[in-house]
Amino acid sequence: MAYRSPERGGALLTGALLTVPFLMAGCGGDDHPKAETVFTVPSSPTPSAAVETAPGTQPGIEGARAALRAFLRGQAAGDPAVCRYVAEGGAFVKGPALRGDCPQGVRNTPHLVRPMERQALRTVEVGGGRIVGEEALIPFSSLRWTSGSMTVSTLQAEYTLQRENGNWQIVR
C-alpha cells in the first residue's frame, strides 16, 4: 500500500479548487456570442387554466378515465391529495380499501399491496368504460399497466364515477 502525504493531498485539492474559477471564466462573458441570450422563466398558468387541464374535469368518459387514472396512481404513491377523486360519504370511501377515511386509507395503500401490484398501479392506464345516465362505469378489464402485475382482487371488478361540481369522483 502506498503512503500518501496529507500535505500533498491538500495541495492537489487546493490546486484543483483554484483552477476551476479560471476554467469557468472562459465559459462566457460579455464578448461571448451567447452572452446576449436572455432566458425567461415561463409564467405559471392561471388558476382557471390549471383547473381546466386537471384530471377528471373533462366531460364524458375521457374525464372519468382521467380521474380514475389519477386516483389509482396517487393511491399507489400514498398521496392523500387524490381523495378529491372520491365522493364523500359514497360506498367507495366506506369500502374495504379506504374504510371510511380516504386520506388514511390512501396513505396505507403502499404498505398493503404487494410490490408488483404497487408498480402496476403506478403505471396504470384507463381505457374503455361507458356512460350510463349520469354515471361512468369503468370495469377492471379496462385497466392496463406497463409494469408490475395485479388481478381484479387487487382492486375491484368495476368503478362507478359521477360528476360533482365539474369533477368526476368515484362513488362505488
- Residue 148 near residue 122, CB atoms below 8 Å: yes
pLDDT tops 70 at residue 125: yes
The answer to whether 86 and 104 are in contact (CB under 8 A) is no
10-22 confidence digits (pLDDT tens)? 544 444 444 444 4
Question: What is the three-class DSSP state of 131?
Answer: strand
CB count within 10 Å of CB 156 equals: 16
Domain map (residue ranges) of the chain: 47-170
Taking phi over 0 as left and psi of -120 to 50 as alpha, with beta for the rest, 149 belongs to beta
Q: Burial code of 14-42, b = ≥16 C-beta within 10 A, e = fewer?
A: eeeeeeeeeeeeeeeeeeeeeeeeeeeee
Label residue 8 by pLDDT band (50, 70, 90): low
Render pLDDT for 60-104 as a digit per residue (tens, 0 to 9): 999 999 999 999 999 999 999 999 999 998 899 999 889 999 999
Q: pTM surpassing 0.85? A: no
Identity at 164, one-letter amino acid code: E
CATH number of 47-170: 3.10.450
Question: CA 141 to CA 60: how far, in whole Å?
Answer: 19
Q: How deeply is 86 buried, as exposed, middle or buried, from its count of CB atoms within 10 A (0-12, 13-18, 19+)? A: buried
Which among 86, 84, 80, 77 has a CA at the least distance from the CA of 54? 84
Q: Is pLDDT larger for residue 162 or for residue 3?
A: 162
Rg of the chain over Cα atoms, rounded to whole angstroms, equals 26
